[in-house]
């Protein structure tokens, strides 16, 4: 794998996005992320998903998004399926957010079981309406399902970028640590979560998230039609 690194240690799968300065989510990144998740599932490993120093991900690859409706539709659809997979993954998924998380980068935060952010001058944002893109239905359902209602309009309709503390209050993060402590904190959380009964964890996760997973399944189908008919991005 070229754009995603995978390491195993103590039944922990650490998956690192490494796709250039923005850590853009491209079609190949999604393919490699799914390959890494396949291996983690086979090893029955707790997953830590992280990025590069200062940036978790700035979202979908804009070159692909601007290449045409077909390429954008395919990328958004596969990105939505990735979020659904993370939400229903049979083992705990931790995101160690190494910096800025924007658009699909922020949606990935909403797809994990536990999210650790970094204190500092970092922003988390769903900036779709700021760049001239109507948010896809899957994005709306993810935000509605995982964010605090007090922040929903601010984040979705106003595209308000949030600093780390506000991102915790909104529901993007569960805790904050210093950048130097990020991976240590993530590994400690992974070791803690390894003590769970994984069958019970998986079954309960599916029960708790059934309304959201059902909504995502429906939204993926609606997006296939809606994006094809109405897609545009500045």
Domains observed in the chain: 4-193 (3.90.226.10)
Residue 227: the pLDDT is: 77
How far is Cα of residue 223 from the mean position of the Cα atoms in its chain?
A: 18
Helix (H, G, I), strand (E, B) or coil at 3: coil
Per-10-residue mean pLDDT, the chain, length 234: 94 96 96 98 98 96 89 94 98 98 98 97 96 93 97 97 98 98 98 98 98 97 82 64
With vertex at residue 73, the alpha carbon angle to CA 71 and CA 77, rounded to the nearest 5 degrees, is 120
pTM of the model: 0.95
Helix (H, G, I), strand (E, B) or coil at 30: helix
Residue 68: the pLDDT is: 85
Containing 65, the helix (H) or strand (E) segment is helix 62-65
User: What are the pLDDT digits (tens) for 112-139?
Assistant: 999 999 999 999 999 999 998 899 999 9
Pairing of strands 46-50, 12-17: parallel
């Amino acid at each position: 794998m070229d754009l995603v690194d995978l390491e195993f240690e103590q039944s922990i799968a650490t998956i690192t996005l490494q796709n250039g300065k923005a850590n853009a989510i491209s079609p190949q990144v999604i393919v490699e992320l799914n390959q890494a998740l396949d291996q983690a599932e086979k090893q029955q490993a707790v997953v830590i998903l992280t990025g590069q120093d200062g940036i978790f991900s700035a979202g979908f690859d804009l070159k692909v998004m601007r290449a045409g409706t077909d390429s954008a539709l395919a990328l958004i659809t596969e990105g939505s399926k990735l979020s659904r997979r993370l939400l229903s993954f049979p083992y705990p998924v931790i995101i160690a957010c190494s910096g800025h998380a924007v658009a699909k980068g922020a949606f990935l935060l909403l797809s994990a079981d536990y999210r650790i952010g970094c204190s500092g001058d970092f922003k988390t944002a769903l900036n779709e309406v700021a760049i001239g893109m109507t948010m896809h239905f899957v994005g709306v359902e993810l935000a509605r399902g995982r964010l605090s209602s007090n922040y929903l309009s601010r984040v979705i309709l106003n595209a308000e970028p949030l600093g780390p503390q506000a991102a915790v209050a909104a529901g993007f993060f569960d805790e904050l640590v210093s950048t130097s402590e990020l991976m240590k904190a993530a590994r400690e959380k992974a070791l803690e979560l390894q003590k769970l009964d994984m069958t019970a964890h998986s079954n309960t996760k599916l029960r708790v998230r059934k309304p959201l997973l059902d909504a995502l399944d429906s939204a993926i189908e609606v997006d296939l039609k809606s994006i094809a008919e109405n897609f545009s991005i500045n």
